[in-house]
Structure 1
Amino acid sequence: MAKGFIMKVGSARILACASAVAVIALAGVTRGAAGARSPHSAEGDQAGSTTAPLLAEQAFKNIQALKGISAADFMGTMGIMTAALGFDCSECHIAAGTDKVDWAADTPRKVIARRMVNMVTAINQNNFAGRQLVTCWTCHRGRDKPVVTPSIDLIYGMPTLEPDDLVMASVPGLPKPDEIIDKYIQAIGGAQQLANVTSFTATGTSIGFGGFGGGGAVQIYAKAPDQRSTIIEFKDAPGRDASIRSYDGKIGWTKTPLTVLGEYQLSGTELDGARLDAQMAFPSQIKRVLTNLRTLQPATINDREVDVVQGNGPGRLFATLYFDKQTALLTRMIRYGSSPIGRLPTQVDYADYREINGVRMPFRFTFAWLDGRDAFQLNDVRVNVPIDAAKFGRPTSLETRR
């Protein structure tokens, strides 16, 4: 069997604004009217929408280097920058994190950021036919200034092997993707039992990254084949709005208190991700929603060996699934979306599987993206219960009718 790489959970950076104040390194904030479809949107995803995606230059002031993309894709792009440099909002924005913040003001770092965006774009266009082979992360790796001198300890120490994000074909000699997925389906109850589950609701608790924003009470609603919403209420913070992610099968929304945009309609890679998350809530359809499945090199997560399967999702999105070799259970999913300056990873880790009506479901999971992380612990899950369609709609109307 091919030797796998080692994956460890952890982060070297601390985001003061993670999960609550989005970083706007190239712009200031203003509300605007709806605009044209984002060039990164999956074709057809907006067909059911009554409003075209809000463009970055309509949502924010002083946009110069990233015009023409949706506000949602713009926010993802900011996540790539903060992750690559190990920054938070205040590094580029005057008085960020206070009520005196001036998002639109130009600062030396914002000017440099614009120049870097244009530089990276030119490098990829002039040398790699436009493919994103060079990104912020390529050089910065969590530092504001890239390391330019080799470290002797790193050269002669134990190497850290980082796998490629995207692999085009299965690695020879490994189990077929269908075999790995079939074992997982059987481990959580079997195809017939899974087919009997058409909806579920769950309640529990949520903790944001670094404690920012405190913990909350979470409600999850899901309906097959592709509707899902997550509602986090902060009952210990009177007056604070709920944090909501919703997807109704065609249209997705996100609402997060204390952020720059607050509430907005998903588009592009965020909409693709919301769709896949909703579909993955009903695992029996994995082989339908992910195409061109291939088996990758096995890996190790938390000292446990895992089988790795990758497939293509909606739009430009692709996802990598990690299945525990001993239990066959899904322990991690990383989905990758696109942005103008690099891929956007979103990682979900699953644990504490329990049986509910003959089906095993994870009662603990962590949802992490470049700008934040939410850790969920469920205490009650109920299957095949009626769910009001409004639960999957726009957050404002959802809260009104809740």
Structure 2
Amino acid sequence: MKLGSARLPACASAIAVIALAAVLRGDGGAPSAQSAAGGQAGSTAAPLLAEQAFKNIQALKGISAADFMGTMGIMTAALGFDCSECHVAAGTDKVDWAADTPRKVIARRMVNMVTAINQNNFAGRQLVTCWTCHRGRDKPVVTPNLDLVYGMPTLEPDDLVVASVPGLPKPDEIIDKYLQALGGAQRLAGITSFTATGTSIGFGGFGGGGAVQIYAKAPDQRSTIIEFKNAPGRDASIRSYDGTTGWNKTPLTVLGEYQLSGSELDGARLDAQMAFPSQVKRVLTDRRTLQPATINDRDVDVVQGNGSGRLFATLYFDKQTGLLTRMVRYGNSPIGRLPTQIDYADYREVDGVKLPFRFTFAWLDGRDAFQLNDVRINVPIDAAKFGRPTSLESKR
């Protein structure tokens, strides 16, 4: 599903995750026995592979189930599809995952085609993806539109830029301005933990908004718990990272709870680290300044840096206030980059430092908007808050 698409309401994110999981299955819709609730007994277990979680994986073997789900997000975003366009009765209890529809067969063929193009022509670099041709359509446009040819061009910057643009402020100058705008590097370095409570709007079709709790402890532990109190019997949605291992638990999805791996684990680590702004220079290396941009009619300075693994992130700072407006981090999948965008707003002062009380977390399969009403700094936090969601949920 594509955010903003008329074909799928924004509240249907959870349905999408269920449906997307079977795009490349040849038979059987239910997870295999190994992917059931006991399939990952502890945080030291190896990541669950796609072929272990689902049946008859053909084109995407050898990647984690988590990265498989991200790959499905790339496909649906590129084609502007919702789940039902590949799966009979998707989004209902009558869905037939086993039905091998023509679009599933084509999807497998397209994965192999794109892989071959990149290997044979670009030394394996992902210069051609689903998005390269489809751009939100099931069939790529093949004829030039003269209004576009002679109209004002729409410039789309490259995701990855390898060096700073000459003549612009140095990246550390922009970051220093940001730290000063928040209250100064010294005060920020004194923050060792925080808790926050508020509301979340995301999966409206499955219980409406939720009550959110956020726990963070320096340098790299963080958890987000969303409880759906207006939907009796519905489990909480929990995302946790303890500094080494990460977990995601989302109700009404085919995987339910799973251990993070690959790009998703790298992303959870960066999110936990960036919760403490004094660390930004340490966690993002090889920093470079990109061309300035505009977000919501406001000029922004742009800095990019590398995280762990192959992850990299682009930060957008309001040129006037110096505050962080947006972060887009990019992970990897077999068929293209996985963007995750976090927008920050409503900065308020708490104990001498400014923190964002409103932020939006968007990925290819959905979007959550958070509004905080209370943030407390340097409070003790039980280490269990950052553990596996099932154990965490039992302690609430």
Smaller-chain TM-score bracket = over 0.9
Instruction: State the one-letter code of the partner of 2:210.
Output: G
Higher mean alpha-carbon deviation, 244-253 vs 206-215, is at 206-215
The answer to whether the aligner puts 1:83 opposite 2:77 as a matched pair is: yes
1:223 equivalent in structure 2: 217
The answer to whether the aligner puts 1:102 opposite 2:96 as a matched pair is: yes
Distance 1:334 1:13 in 2: 24
1:297 equivalent in structure 2: 291
Higher helix share: 2
1:334 equivalent in structure 2: 328
User: For 1:332, what is the secondary structure of its paired residue?
Assistant: strand
Distance 2:133 2:93 in 1: 34
Instruction: State the one-letter code of the partner of 1:172.
Output: P
Instruction: State the one-letter code of the partner of 2:99.
Output: A
2:228 equivalent in structure 1: 234
User: For 1:61, what is the secondary structure of its paired residue?
Assistant: coil
Q: 2:316 aligns with which of 316, 319, 322?
A: 322
Contact kept? 2:50, 2:63, Cα under 8 Å = yes
CA-atom RMSD, angstroms? 1.5
Contact kept? 1:32, 1:54, Cα under 8 Å = no
The count of aligned residue pairs is 380
Structure 1 residues without counterparts, runs of 5 or longer = 1-9, 35-47
The answer to whether the aligner puts 1:170 opposite 2:164 as a matched pair is: yes
Distance 2:211 2:53 in 1: 30
Deviations 1:259-316 (A, max 9, x none): 1111100000000000000000000000000000000000000000000000000101
Contact kept? 1:199, 1:223, Cα under 8 Å = yes
For residues 133 and 347 of structure 1, do their structure 2 counterparts lie closer, same or farther at Cα, with a shift above 3 Å needed? same
User: For 1:155, what is the secondary structure of its paired residue?
Assistant: helix
Q: Provide the TM-score with structure 2 as the length reference.
A: 0.93
The answer to whether the aligner puts 1:347 opposite 2:348 as a matched pair is: no
2:13 equivalent in structure 1: 18
Contact kept? 1:229, 1:245, Cα under 8 Å = yes
Distance 1:20 1:351 in 2: 29
Deviations 1:92-131 (A, max 9, x none): 1122111122223211100000000000000000110100
Distance 1:120 1:212 in 2: 36
Higher mean alpha-carbon deviation, 84-93 vs 270-279, is at 84-93
Structure 2 residues without counterparts, runs of 5 or longer = 36-41
1:69 equivalent in structure 2: 63
Distance 2:4 2:87 in 1: 23
User: For 1:18, what is the secondary structure of its paired residue?
Assistant: helix
Instruction: State the one-letter code of the partner of 2:134.
Output: H
User: For 1:118, what is the secondary structure of its paired residue?
Assistant: helix
For residues 230 and 117 of structure 1, do their structure 2 counterparts lie closer, same or farther at Cα, with a shift above 3 Å needed? same
1:4 equivalent in structure 2: none
Distance 2:207 2:368 in 1: 11
Distance 1:173 1:49 in 2: 47
Contact kept? 2:328, 2:339, Cα under 8 Å = yes
The answer to whether the aligner puts 1:389 opposite 2:349 as a matched pair is: no
2:38 equivalent in structure 1: none
Q: How many percent of aligned residue pairs carry the same amino acid?
A: 86
Q: Provide the TM-score with structure 1 as the length reference.
A: 0.92
